[in-house]
Copies of this chain bind each other. A is one copy, B any other.
Amino acid sequence: MSVTTPAGFSAAGVTAGLKHSGGLDLAVVQNLGPLSSAATVFTSNRCKANPVIWSQQVMRGGSVRAIVLNSGGANCYTGSIGFQTTHATAEAVGDRLGVSAGEVIVCSTGLIGEQLDLDKITAGIWDATLALQKDDSTSAEAGLSAARAIMTTDTTPKQSAVTAPAGWSIGGMAKGAGMLAPGLATMLVVITTDAVLDSAQLDTALRTATRITFDRLDSDGCMSTNDTVSLLGSGASGIAPDEAEFAAALTAICQDLTLQLQADAEGSAHDVAITVRAAETEADAVTVARAVSRSNLFKTAIFGNDPNWGRVLAAVGTTDAAFDPYNIDVTINGVQVCTAGEPDQPRELVDLTPRSVTVLITLHAGDAEATIWTNDLTHAYVEENSAYSS
């Protein structure tokens, strides 16, 4: 269950020496064809990293043969030298795989404002592309190595795959544990498929899937400069899928990876699903749920196992969504603590000891609904983000 699950993909993860820890830190995923279709969504942060700027140019070409990803440095706000490093990275992969640099997507993750060591990257690419030539480069182990190589503060690699009854497959890997609040895309995610689909078809399916999965994850409210989700199609199954069926399967993969990211969010002690229902529009539901997900007072209360629903409503009230402020219901882990803006069941009945928490907010303004996935705000989050540069 990895990016090598679909036919037509090889992967490798190697140690280039970019991470101080000495772990795997450079991955290459190669699309062996016959197709080289691709779709990618990037961060909507206006401060974009050099690899994002490069990869946006690549996507205009419409053909992607490989993705190279590094941890140990974001290559963001590193100026023209940083852009040259990204360009040289794509050139090196292209040379070694016999494809154009213009068909190589580059992704980087790590500290902003520090130059990457191009010599180490070049050596890492040499090792990785050697590994891609071996028979086991299409194995699950190869996929796992790639998934490990893109980890930063992640504690576990994140992978998902599905094979449809019709015979085509989708596989994916993701990294991301902090700066986890996607605007359009999020984090670094590579998804592969052997279904026969062109780039336009992949793009439609990818945007359908990410809109209600990665885009609804808001762990710490901080949008990254490097977020990239790429979907590569090899067509190696020879099977053209039903597009709706493909989009549904892709959405399931994206949701699985989203929940893996949430579960491994930096320092988190609770996974919180905030569902807003009976909203006038889906956009309203997202706005309200996101406002609650970004309330530090709500997040610290959840960490303290305190069902402090007043902090939920105080956050709801900052939005411009359609609702009557005094006709809102709030249910936390199944206990309706607030009905029509007044106390209902005693807050003491709410059990917040499990890691999984559900908050249900009913606006009585329509029939739209949306869920945002977030985490609590903990001592471990503060520790991880104050004691170490990342």
Contact = CB atoms under 8 A, between A and B. Distances in A.
A385 B325 contact: no
Contact of A313 (B225, B387, B388): B225
A338 B79 CA distance: 11
Nearest to A317: B47
Nearest to A337: B113
A281 interface: no
Contacts of A183: 318
A50 B112 CA distance: 47
Contacts of A112: 308-311, 313-314
Nearest to A380: B382
A87 to B, nearest CB: 16
A381 B319 CA distance: 24
Nearest to A180: B297
Nearest to A45: B317
A207 interface: no
B79 A382 contact: no
A77 to B, nearest CB: 5
Interface in A290-330: 294-297, 300-301, 303-304, 306, 308-311, 313-319, 325-326
Interface string A19-47: 00000000000000000000000000111
Interface string A163-184: 0000000000000001100010
A98 B333 CA distance: 50
B379 A78 contact: no
Contact of A342 (B77, B294, B340, B382): B77
A interface, over-half SS: loop
B48 A221 contact: no
Contact of A317 (B46, B297, B342, B343): B46
The 3 residue pairs across chains A and B that have the minimum distance between CB atoms:
A112-B310, A304-B386, A47-B317
25 contacts: A45-B314, A46-B318, A47-B313, A112-B308, A112-B310, A112-B311, A113-B313, A178-B297, A179-B297, A183-B318, A220-B296, A221-B295, A222-B295, A222-B297, A222-B314, A222-B315, A225-B313, A225-B317, A294-B294, A296-B377, A300-B385, A301-B386, A303-B382, A306-B389, A377-B382
Given A77-B341, A77-B342, A224-B314, 20 more contacts: A45-B317, A47-B316, A74-B310, A79-B341, A112-B309, A112-B311, A112-B314, A113-B313, A221-B294, A222-B296, A222-B314, A222-B315, A225-B313, A296-B377, A300-B381, A301-B386, A303-B386, A378-B382, A379-B379, A381-B382
